[in-house]
Structure 1
Amino acid sequence: MKFLRKLTVVLIVAALMLMLFPGLGVYAASDETVYIFHTNDIHGRAGAASADEDGGVIGYARYKTVLDEARTDVGAANVIALDAGDVTHGTNFATLSKGESMIKLMNKVGIDAMTSGNHEFNYGPDRLLELEAMANFPIMAANITKKAGGASLFAQNEKVFTTAEGRKIAVFGLDTPETMVKADPKYTRPFDFGAGEDGKSLNALAAIAQAKINALKAAGADYVILLAHLGVDTESVIRSDLLIPKLSGLTLAIDGHSHTEMGKKIKDKDNHEVYLVQTGSHFANIGKVTLVLTDSGVTPTVKLLSYDDVKGYAKDAAVQADIDAFHAANEVVLGEVIGKTKVELDGERDHVRAGETNLTRLISDALLKETGADVVLSNGGNVRRSIPAGDITMGVALEVLPFENTIITLKVTGQDIVDALTHGAGAYPGTAGGFPNVAGMKFTIVTTKNSEGETVFKEVRDVLIGGKPVDLKATYTLATNDFLAGGGDGFVMFEGRDPVGYYGLMLDIFANEIRELSKGGAFDYVAEQRLKIVADTDLEDMEDITPTGETTLYLLAGSLMLLMSAALLLSRRKIESK
C-alpha cells in the first residue's frame, strides 16, 4: 500500500511538472523553415532548347537549380515541390508524346506531387493512368471516383511529408468538376467529380475536402495543404475562393485552372486566414511559400518568383540535355513548312473566347468547305495560340489546335442552333471556352446593363443561315467537333445525336486549308464578318430580324393582307362603276 501511495504521488507530481513545464521530459521540435514551391498550368512549356531563346519561360532545367539551392539551404526534407495541374498538354513538346515528356522531366526535377487538371484528361483516362504509373510522385484528385463501384480514379490522393524535426505536412488534391464539360465527355462520363450530377454543388465538394482534412489530421498530420485545380474565374460556380470559407483546418491552398497570379488571404469557416496562391500560367513564374513552423503555430510568407527573378540561375545540365533531346525528336515532324501568311492570325485567348478573329474565321470556313454543311459551330477554347506573319510550320498548326478533335456532321433543328449560340455566348462580355466560332451563318449578341451598371449578355438574335432567317423547325446539317457533339462545354443540345458524316482530324483540315491558301504565295485572309454585338439601347436603329425567323412569317402575312385588301378594294370599285 505504501508503495502504491508513493507511486501515485510520483505520478501526480510528474503530471503536474508536465503541465507546468511541457518542455520537460518530452521531446519538443525546434523551430524550422519549410519551403513549398508550386507551379500550375504549365501547359507543356518545359523550356526552350539550348539554341533557342527562353521567351520568358523559366523551364524545368532552371527550376531544378532553384530547387537544389533550396534543398541545400534548409535540407531536402524541408523542401516540397508541388504542381496544381494542366501540365501534360498544351504544346507540341507535350502532345507528341501524349504527356510522357513532361512526366519524365518532372521526375528528374524532383516534383513531389501534383493534382490532375482538366487537360490531363485530353488523352483519355487510360493514358492518364499510364502517366500516373510513369510518375515518381502521386497524381491526386480526391473528388474523382468511378461511377461503377465508387473506386478512386487514382491510386493515391494524398501524400504526407515528414520534416527534419518530425512534423507532418499532408497534401491532398482536388480537380475541377468543370472537367466534366471542359474535357471530352466520352472520357469523363464514367466518373463522378464529387459535385453533384451537374458538377455544380460546392457543398458536395466541400464535404469531400473536409472529410479528407479530418482524416489526415486524425492520422497525425500537423498541417494540411490543399492542392487544387479549381481556379477563381467569376464564370465558374465552383472556385477555390468560395470553397475555403466552407472548410476548417487548412494551412495553405495552392490552386490552378484560372491562370491567375495571386497570393491572397481567405477566411475559412473558423474565421482563420488561409493563403490562396496561384502562379499564373506557362511557367512564367514559380510560387514559393515559406512556412516557419514552431510549437505555437505556423507563419506563412508567400512570394511569386518571375522569370526575371530567376533568370540568373544556371540551367541544370542533365535536365537541359533531356529537354534538347525531346525538342530534336519533335522537330522532325514539326519543322515542315505548310504555308505562309502576310498578316498575324489572331488566336489570343481573350479574343477567341469573346469574339471572332481572322484565325477563327479561317478555321470555321475550312470546316464548312470540307464538310459541305449548312453551318459550322466550334468553340473558341479549341484555339490555343496566334500565328505570326511569315512561315507556318506544322508545329505551329499543332499548337493552334492541340486537341485530337475530329469533325463530324449532325442533323439539328434551327432551335438547336439558336440554343447553342445562346449558351455559348452567355458569358459575354466575359470570356468562355464555349464561345461560338461559326461559318455559314450570322448572329447578333445583344447586351444590356445590370443593376450595378455593368454590361452583361441579354440575348442572341438575328440568326441568319445562308442569308435567310433561321427556321426553328427546319432541319440543318451542322459541322462541329466531337467534343461539342458529345456535350462538351455544356452544349447538351447536341448530345446523343448520331453523326451523319465523319471528316477526320480538325488539325488536318486546318493544315490542308493553309496549304491550299498558300499555293499562290503568302496569303492575307479576309473573310466576311458573321458576328455583330449591339447594346439593347441601339436596337431601334436595327432591322427587326428575330432569332426565330418569325419576322419572315409576319412579313408574308402582312403582304398577303395587303394584297387581299387591294383585291377587295379593286372589286368594290368595279362593282360601284357598274
Structure 2
Amino acid sequence: MLRIFTAIVCTLMIVAGTVTPHGTAATPDKLSRNHQPFELNIMHFNDTHSHLDNVAKRVTAVKEFRKKKPDALLLDAGDVFSGTLYFNEFHGKADLEFMNLMRFDAMTFGNHDFDLGSTPNGHQALVEFIKGATFPFVSSNVDFSKDEKFAGLFTEKISAHPRNGHIYAGIVKNVKGERIGIFGLTTAETKVISSPGKITFSNYIEEAKRMVAEFQKRGINKIIALSHLGFDDNPAVDNDLELAKAVEGIDIIVGGHSHTALAKPVLIHEKAEPTVIVQAGQYGEYMGTLNVTFDENGVIVKQDGKLIPIAKQAADPEAAKLLKKYSDKISKVRNTPLGATAEEFLDNPRTLGDHSKPSVRKNETPLGNVITDGMLAKAKQYSPDVIMALHNGGGIRAPINKGEITVGEVIEALPFGFTLATMKITGAELKQAFERSLESYPREDSGFLHVSGAKVKFDSSKPAGKRVISIQYFDGEKYVPIQDDKTYTVATNTFTAKGGDGFDVFRKIYKEGRITDLGLSDWEILAEHLKKLGKVHPKVEGRIVDVAD
C-alpha cells in the first residue's frame, strides 16, 4: 500500500514574472496552498531516435488519452535525434513535424541530440529543430552560451510564459489552475559519448537543488524533472535513482537515456516526500502515462501509470498521410537489396534494465563480430600491419533481419557516419582501453568494445581497472599475447579514436598524432564486407570472455 507522506508546510511566496535560478529577490504576494487534492496527468516519450514508422500510431495514442484527460501534459525526455534513415535524410525535421502535430508541452535534450556537433555545420540542425518547435525546451545543467549558433535561444531563467522554440532552465505550466514547475537535466556523459563541441554540462544534483529552491520561492510545490540521465545508469556519473535520493522536492522524474521500459512507476521515498520515476522504453514503442494525486501541501498521495503499446494503436489518418511524404523519400534506399543474405537474425540486444540479459553494450554479439571483421579486412588493405579492429557497442544501433539484407538495414545498424581510422598503440595502452571497455560490466556501457583479430579474457569479479587477464592477437598462424612495451597498429572508428565514450587513452594518442583517419564510411565498409560474404552467418566465438562466468 502506498505510504502517505506528510510534508512540513512552509510559507512560500509567489514571485511574478521571470526569475533567474541564481536567486532574484522575490516580492511577497500571497500564500500558495491548495485546499483539496489535485490530479495531474502526464503522457511521456523518450529515446525515440527518429523511429518514425510507428509515429502515426503514436499520434492516435496521444489523441485518445487527451479525450479522457484533456489537461494532460505531453513531455519528451530527449534523444529525438539519430538512429534511422529518417534522421540521416531529414536531420530532425520529420520528427519535429510530428511533435508539433502532437502538441508537446516541453522537451529536454538527450546526448544524441548533440551528435552533429563535430560535422562541418555543427549544431545547425539542432538549432533549426529548436526554432521550428511549437513548444519550449527545458535544460538547467547545459550551458549553450559558448556556441554562437544558440545566441538568443537560451536563457538561464525560469519562465512562467515560455516562448515556443526557446530553451529555459525551467518553465511553469498552469494546469487546471495549479502551477507545475518543469526543469530539464542531461547526462554529463554527453561530453564523451556525443559531440557537444563548445556546449558544457554542470553537476546535475547541484542544478536540481537550485531549480527546486527557485520553484519553491515562487510558491510552486509540484515539480517535474524532465531527465535524460538514465534510470539506473552509471551512479558514479548520474542517474534518476541517485537524483531522487539526493534532491528533496522533486515530485516526478520523467526519464530517458537508459531505454528502460518501466511497466509501472517506481516510487522512491527516502526523503520526507516521495518521488515517482517513469520511463517509456525506446523508439516510441510505448507511450508512458502517469496519473498522480497531490494533497493540499503538494505531496503525492496516490499514483498509478502504465505503458501503452503503440503497435496496438490504429494509425491516425492525418499523421499517416503526413508520414508518407517522408517515407516515400527513404523507401528506395531502405529497400535496395545489398546482394547478401543473413542466414540468421543478427540481433542488437539491450538489457532494458535487466543486467542479467545479454547486450550489445556488454557482450560479444554476432553482429558486432561481422562489423569488426569488415573493419579489419578494410584496414589491412591500407596498412597490412593492422592486427585487430575495435568498435564501440554504443555505435551499433539496429539489428539486421534474417533474409535478404538491404542497404537501409546496414545504414540503420551504423547510422552515425563514423569513418575508419588506424592508430599506433602500445600493448600497455591497449590494455588500458580494454579496462575502460569492461569497467561497467555487468552493466551496459556504450564504450564496450567489440573486437576482430583478437581474444580478450577478463574477470568481472575483480575491481574495475584490474579486470583484464589477457589480450591475444592472431599473427596469421596462432594467437599470441600482446606485449606491454611493443607498439601495434589497430583499427577503430573515428569517434572512439578521438576519445569518445570516455577513452582517455585514445584521446591522448589522437593528440599525439598517432591516428590516421582513412576517411572510409563505416556502413559502406560493412556493406562491402557483407556483399563479399554473400551468405552471412557470424557466430559468438569467444572473442571476449569473462572467466568469472
TM-score range for the pair, normalised by the shorter chain length: 0.7 to 0.9
Code of the aligned partner of 1:343: E
Aligned to 2:348: 347
**Structure 1 pair 449/134, CA: closer, same or farther in 2 (3 Å)?**
same
Which secondary structure state, in structure 2, belongs to the residue aligned with residue 123 of structure 1?
helix
How far off is 1:167 after superposition? 1.7
The answer as to whether partners of 1:445 and 1:461 remain within 8 angstroms in 2 is yes
**Cα distance in structure 1, aligned partners of 2:503 and 2:43:** 38
Greater shift after overlay, 507-516 or 60-69?
60-69
Q: 1:394 to 1:374 in 2, by over 3 A?
A: same
Please name the residue that 2:180 is paired with. 169
1:394 Cα deviation from its structure 2 partner = 0.8
Q: 8 Å contact 1:413–1:473 — kept in the other structure? A: yes
Instruction: Say if 1:159 and 1:527 are closer, same or farther in 2 by CA, change over 3 A.
Output: closer
The change in CA–CA distance for 1:412 and 1:35 in structure 2 (over 3 A counts) is same
What does residue range 281-430 of structure 1 map to in structure 2 within 5 Å?
281-292=282-293, 295=296, 297=298, 299-307=301-309, 311=312, 313-338=313-338, 339-349=340-350, 350-372=358-380, 373-430=386-443
Q: Per-residue CA shift, 1:55-114, capped at 9, x if unaligned? A: xxxx43233333334444444xx2210011122222223332122211111111111111
How many Å separate the matches in 2 of 1:139 and 1:462? 47
Q: TM-score, normalised by structure 2?
A: 0.79
TM-score w.r.t. structure 1 length? Answer: 0.76
CA contact (8 A) 1:410 1:497 kept: no
Matches for 1:2-401 after TM superposition, within 5 Å = 33-47=39-53, 59-75=54-70, 78-124=71-117, 125-146=123-144, 148=146, 155-164=167-176, 166-183=177-194, 187-195=195-203, 205-233=204-232, 235-237=234-236, 238-262=238-262, 263-267=265-269, 269=271, 271-292=272-293, 295=296, 297=298, 299-307=301-309, 311=312, 313-338=313-338, 339-349=340-350, 350-372=358-380, 373-401=386-414
- 2-side partners of 1:178 and 1:370: how far apart? 31
Do the aligned partners of residues 360 and 131 (structure 1) sit closer, same or farther apart at CA in structure 2, a change above 3 Å counting? same
Q: Secondary structure at the match of 2:214?
A: helix
Counterpart residue identity of residue 361, structure 1: N
Moved more, 414-423 or 245-254: 245-254
Displacement of 1:331: 0.6
Q: Which amino acid aligns with 2:206?
A: A
Call closer, same or farther: CA 1:243–1:305 in 2, change over 3 Å. Answer: closer
CA contact under 8 A between 1:446 and 1:457: conserved in structure 2? no
CA distance 1:38–1:527, change in 2 (3 Å): closer
2:523 aligned residue (507, 514, 521):
507
CA contact (8 A) 2:115 2:196 kept: no
- Which protein has the bigger helix share? 1
| In 1: Cα distance, 2:540 partner to 2:440 partner | 25
The residue that corresponds to 1:460 in the other structure is: 468
- Which whole-Å CA distance do the structure 1 matches of 2:524 and 2:116 have between them? 18
Q: Is the 8 A contact 1:41 1:259 kept in 2?
A: yes
- Whole-angstrom distance in 2 between the partners of 1:296 and 1:418: 55
Q: Which amino acid aligns with 2:86?
A: F
* Change over 3 Å in CA distance of 1:404–1:461 after alignment to 2: same
Q: CA RMSD in A?
A: 2.8
8 A Cα contact 1:107 1:137, kept in partner = yes
- Alignment: residue pair count: 474
Once residues 431 and 236 of structure 1 are traced to their aligned partners in structure 2, the CA distance between those partners, rounded to angstroms, is 12
Deviation at 1:458, TM superposition (A): 5.3
Tell me, in whole angstroms, the C-alpha distance in 1 between the residues paired with 2:308 and 2:260: 13
Q: Spell out, residue by residue over 1:109-135, the C-alpha distance to the aligned partner (whole angstroms, 9 max, x if none).
A: 111111111111122233222211121
Distance 1:362 1:502 in 2: 20
State whether residues 225 and 252 of structure 1, in contact with CA within 8 Å, keep that contact through their aligned partners in structure 2.
Answer: yes
Give the partner amino acid of 1:67: V
- Contact persistence 1:259–1:280 (CA under 8 A): yes
8 Å CA contact 1:286, 1:306 repeated in 2: yes
- 2: distance between equivalents of 1:329 and 1:351? 32
Match of 2:162 in 1: none
Unpaired segments of 5 or more residues in structure 2?
1-31, 118-122, 156-165, 351-357, 381-385
Q: CA separation in 2, counterparts of 1:289 and 1:300? A: 11
Q: Cα–Cα, structure 1 residues 139 and 534, in superposed 2: closer, same or farther, change >3 Å?
A: same
In the alignment, the residues of structure 2 paired with residue 331 and residue 103 of structure 1 have an alpha-carbon distance, to the nearest angstrom, of 20
- Are the equivalent residues in 1 in contact too, given 2:147–2:199 (CA < 8 A)? no
Change (3 A) 1:216 1:444: same
Q: Quote the offset at 1:291 in angstroms.
A: 3.6
Structure 1 contact 448–458 (Cα < 8 Å) conserved:
no
Moved more, 251-260 or 487-496: 251-260
Query: Is contact 2:365-2:540 (8 Å) kept?
Result: no
Q: Provide the residue aligned with 2:23 in structure 1.
A: none
- Quick one: which amino acid aligns to residue 344 of structure 2? V
Runs of 5+ consecutive residues of structure 1 not aligned to the other structure: 1-25, 48-58, 196-204, 451-455, 537-578
CA distance in 2 between counterparts of 1:449 and 1:411 reads 29
The 1:343–1:27 alpha-carbon spacing in structure 2 relative to 1, beyond 3 Å, is closer
Whose radius of gyration is greater, 1 or 2? 1
Aligned to 1:476: 488
Partner residue, 1:56: none
Residues 369 and 400 (structure 1 numbering): CA distance in 2 closer, same or farther, change over 3 Å? Answer: same
Matching residue's letter, 1:325: K
Check the 8 A contact 1:256/1:278 in 2, yes or no.
Answer: yes
Identity %: 29
